[in-house]
Structure 1
Amino acid sequence: MRKVCFTIPPEVHLLDINGPAHIFYEAKESGVAMALHFVSLDHHTEIKTSAGLYFNRLEFFESIELQAGDIVFIPGLDYHLISDKNFVKLIRPFLNWVTEQYQKGVHICSICTGSFILAETGILNGQTATTHWKYFERFFEKFPKINLLKDRLFVSSKNVHSSAGVASGIDLSLYLLEQFYGTKLAVDIAKEVVIYFRRSASDPQLSVFLQYRNHLDHRIHNAQDYLINHLKEAPTAEDLADHVHMSKRNLTRLFKKTCGITIGGYLEKIRVEKAIALLAKKNKVDFVALQCGLKSTNQLRTILKKHQDVLPTEITPLSK
């Protein structure tokens, strides 16, 4: 039974907490063994949100016993509180508790300005993190020991995770579900809550999106969308550069810098995922090769052979 603990600070931002909470609620409804807890940072059982809505009947954080693999979410709240030294001093027991949970192997997740609370614990020192774009400079000035990434929807470093804010907390939640329970569950939950992943309806695989769509550069998102939507046409780097109005050299450099993978490497992974999806539906191998923008079934088998570690059992023989 995995415990997922949602902390409710004063003036919490509603979607920061409700978005992830609903994702894990849907996972629980689908049969995953987990318990959801909603806790306050002090002994108050009722908290007013930034929108004026109240949470009540909250548990006190110290009453929750967690173990390795459990999850704690720290949502965003109004900045005037996290910049108040008295407030930070007041929640010091909670900060110490978060540190203890982290040391036990609990996954600690911040959303939006919740990263400031997480940073106050010290566990982010020497690690990478992100926060809401509006507070980059303030975060960097206050926490210079943290490697702040400015172009990420969310960042995972060991068992501590941070997200840019609001909807990215949902992205992070789906990512965690995939890590813990597999891609199928994450895809099913995404469908249940009608999440659009910047992908076409015919190519809904989640893993490549999570690995290489975790950035905010719209030009590269545009390039990735083009590759996915024109896979059958076997687009070249020149085609891609023309589409996003960049030189081939600049696009190649920026793509690798932003995604951590070359255009060719990304295209190959898309082909593998597309092939797996089509083969699982019992399509003929020559049809699959064509849909993946390949000239022959031999090319398809060569690519699948390079990625045997991710192939389902029933598809593996095709790579022999």
Structure 2
Amino acid sequence: MQNDQGYRVFFIVPPEVHLLDVSGPIHVFYEATEYGADIESVFISINNDHSIKSSAGIGLNNLKPYSNHQLNQNDFIFIPGLDARLIFDEEFQKSMNPFFEWLQIQRNNGAKICSVCTGAYLLAFAGVMDDMECTTHWKYTDDFRKRFPKSKLHKDRLFVKDGSIYSSAGISSGIDLALYIIEELYGPFFATKIAKEIVVFLRRTEDDPQLSVFLQYRNHIENRIHKVQDHLAQHLSDKQKIDDLAVLVHMSPRNLTRLFKKTTGITIGEYHDKLRIERAMQLLANGQKVDAVSNLCGLSSNQLRSLLKKHSDILPSTLS
């Protein structure tokens, strides 16, 4: 996809923008230019104001009017998330109609359009998401489906590409999407260098779920179970016995087993397997050999293969 003309990335900055949604991808492309990529970043206002206030209260200035720019097939548009209060405000939606028309024109001109988090709503209001596969933040997927039935929403995807339309789940996934685009433009070796520069060593792909299992099953206030979950996650390479876990939290093995299932909805063994599967998938995707991965997951090679085969339905196509 590389060409002699270089690329432009237009970062739309709406009012009440979520800072990390926009600053994360910006930094990825900045580092890419530091490594020699021919990419120009342009910062434009969604309503032609030269300055806006972010959702965190920090102001962003020196923005250029969107209406001054006509894009082509070498251009990307990044639309970050913004405060939900604005998104669902009908007056705000109406005020955005000129921008939505401009967005459709740029799409017809061949520009690639990317959303981060709730930025997908702005694409959908503009009609860009009609009949397109997409995603958004997990908290808003049910609402998104109801509002935009023509879209083909994926509920648990990190990011989705459908033709010239890219969408990501939110916050850090905007970084993953930016790295994915860098890989498309300049190849995997170059993208890996950028990921290393910004200390994103375990790059995630579009096959990965929005929420890591290391973050799931933690929506409770039972400190003893949190302590067991922390221990399992931090000692994946060690053999774990229920008796030792019980001693860790001053409970009997039987009571711990019951409380864990009651609190999380799954057994300790199931949770432990989920941790191992996700860790193994990350390591294998990054080129680690099966023997090394199995050791890091506290399993033999045969045990790891059996575990992955048992759960092949959730593996990315590259690993299944």
Q: What TM-score, normalized to structure 1?
A: 0.71
* Paired position in structure 2 for 1:140: 145
Change (3 A) 1:35 1:118: same
Instruction: Give distance in 2, aligned partners of 1:214 and 1:179.
Output: 21
One of 163, 166, 169 as aligned partner of 1:161: 166
Matched ranges for 1:1-320 at <5 A: 1-197=6-202, 210=205, 212-213=207-208, 216=211, 218=213, 219=274, 220-225=277-282, 227=284, 229=288, 231-232=290-291, 239-240=303-304, 248-249=309-310, 251-255=311-315, 259-260=316-317, 263=320
Instruction: Give distance in 2, aligned partners of 1:226 and 1:176.
Output: 22
- Whichever structure has more helix as a proportion of its residues is 1
| Deviation (angstroms), 1:150 | 1.2
| Deviation (angstroms), 1:158 | 0.2
Letter in 1 for 2:155: K
Change (3 A) 1:192 1:261: closer
* Paired position in structure 2 for 1:315: none
- Contact kept, 8 Å, 1:96 with 1:121, in 2: the verdict is yes
- Contact kept, 8 Å, 1:72 with 1:108, in 2: the verdict is yes
- Contact kept, 8 Å, 2:48 with 2:67, in 1: the verdict is no
Instruction: Give distance in 2, aligned partners of 1:91 and 1:112.
Output: 18
| Deviation (angstroms), 1:4 | 0.6
- Contact kept, 8 Å, 2:53 with 2:59, in 1: the verdict is yes
- Contact kept, 8 Å, 1:226 with 1:240, in 2: the verdict is no
Gaps of 5+ in 1: 199-208, 264-320
- Contact kept, 8 Å, 2:158 with 2:207, in 1: the verdict is no
Q: Deviations over 1:155-184 (max 9, x none)?
A: 000010000001000000000000011112
Change (3 A) 1:232 1:118: same
Instruction: Give distance in 2, aligned partners of 1:98 and 1:232.
Output: 50
- Contact kept, 8 Å, 1:44 with 1:58, in 2: the verdict is yes
Q: Deviations over 1:279-308 (max 9, x none)?
A: xxxxxxxxxxxxxxxxxxxxxxxxxxxxxx
Query: The residue matched to 2:44 in structure 1 has which SS?
Result: strand
| Deviation (angstroms), 1:211 | 6.1
Aligned-pair Cα RMSD in Å = 2.3
Instruction: Give distance in 2, aligned partners of 1:128 and 1:142.
Output: 15
Question: Percent of aligned positions with the same letter in both sequences?
Answer: 40
Instruction: Give distance in 2, aligned partners of 1:81 and 1:65.
Output: 26
Instruction: Give distance in 1, aligned partners of 2:210 and 2:52.
Output: 33
| Deviation (angstroms), 1:32 | 1.5
- Contact kept, 8 Å, 1:223 with 1:243, in 2: the verdict is no
| Deviation (angstroms), 1:30 | 1.7
* Paired position in structure 2 for 1:304: none
| Deviation (angstroms), 1:243 | 5.4
Instruction: Give distance in 1, aligned partners of 2:301 and 2:125.
Output: 44
- Contact kept, 8 Å, 1:7 with 1:39, in 2: the verdict is yes
Instruction: Give distance in 2, aligned partners of 1:182 and 1:223.
Output: 24
Letter in 2 for 1:231: V
| Deviation (angstroms), 1:14 | 0.3
User: Does 182-191 or 164-173 show the bigger shift?
Assistant: 182-191
| Deviation (angstroms), 1:260 | 3.6
Q: Deviations over 1:201-228 (max 9, x none)?
A: xxxxxxxx63644664633523414656
Instruction: Give distance in 2, aligned partners of 1:234 and 1:114.
Output: 37
